[in-house]
Amino acid sequence: MKKFINEADYVVDEAMEGFTSCYSNYYEKHPEVNAVVSKKPRKDKVALVIGGGSGHEPMFNGFVGEGLGDAAACGNVFASPDPGTIYETALTVESGRGVLFVYGNYAGDNLNFDMAEELLADEEIEAAHVRVWDDCASAPKERMTDRRGIAGDLFVIKIAGAACDKGMELADVVKVTEAARDNLRSIGVATSPGQIPGLDKPTFEIGDDEMEYGMGIHGERGIERTKMKQADETVEYLYKNIKADMELAGGEEVCVLINGLGSTTVLEMSIVYRKLKELLDADSIKVHDADINSYCTCQEMGGFSISLLKLDDTLKELYDMPCYSPYYAKKGK
């Protein structure tokens, strides 16, 4: 597949150099490791470090900023950052109140972020983590902690960043961030694969007339492969699964994200949201806020995911706090 790159081995290095140069008013690259660091992090607060594999842009480096992450540790394409990268990133933004790591629930990320926590403990720096496992297609409900983290990462980062900027203590930040994670569900559908830079084959194979429900953002197997269906029928299937899994009931309030996986257009995702809003209205579920964008991608993968965050008063207050990065901003309410 055609890509505008130079040497495959330097894709992440060159991308990070270009990204931080372009947004130099907001970010700087860590001098020693692949990490994006806020130029104006607030001091005297819990530091929020996010991260994971590259190739999902703007996740994670695009969600560093006011009310969001203080820094993002970035690995190679679809690969976790190593423990040293995570550790050095945390040291750069830690200011005496501890560090919270937020990342997707993948084996490599879990291992490497845990090791970074141990390195910080050796320096007597308190650290904690919240692993995001919002993909309800990737494991049954009784094995919630085996589920993958996908586009719902964004909602968790938003809540965690607001809690940190509010000045909450680390234990309290962890508590509300876990509450966001536990009240969040996502599910997606893929129509075409992504292509890792430098590799000859795509991440998976699927027929031109096929789609797969529950496909992971690295090409992990989904729960059902079918012939292509119209938007409304697809949304009905996805919503049915999310609603049952999170036990949504009439009168509850949610935030909604329609996330494109790389090549799906805003036009298509707007049609998706139209049907989803109709279904939510029919169930008397109120939409507090909604977003249509491609925030957690898989290169040029075709498809989209739906994420719902169920709100309570605490989560709503934190969600409504302002935030800003060049890729994601909320004015506050």
Residues designated catalytic: 56, 218
Nearest alpha carbon to residue 248 among 324, 309, 326: 309
CA angle 305, 310, 311 (to 5 degrees): 135
Cα–Cα distance between 246 and 153 in angstroms, integer?
Answer: 17
The β-bridge relationship of strands 127-132 and 253-260 is: unpaired
**Structure-block tokens of residue 318:** 């934190």
Using alpha carbons, select from 173, 320, 188 the residue that is nearest to residue 260. Answer: 188
- CA dist., res. 285 & res. 18, Å (int): 42
Q: Any idea what the Cα angle at residue 273 is, between residues 268 and 278, rounded to 5°?
A: 135
d(CA 289, CA 319) in angstroms, rounded, equals 9
Q: Do 297 and 305 contact (CB within 8 A), yes or no?
A: no
**Which strands make up the sheet holding 127-132, listed edge to edge?**
27-29, 35-38, 71-77, 47-54, 99-104, 127-132
Calculate the CA 153 to chain-centre distance.
Answer: 3
Which residues, 6 or more positions from 243, have their beta carbon under 8 angstroms from its beta carbon?
A: 283
Report whether the peptide linkage leading into residue 197 is cis, meaning its omega lies within 30 degrees of zero: no
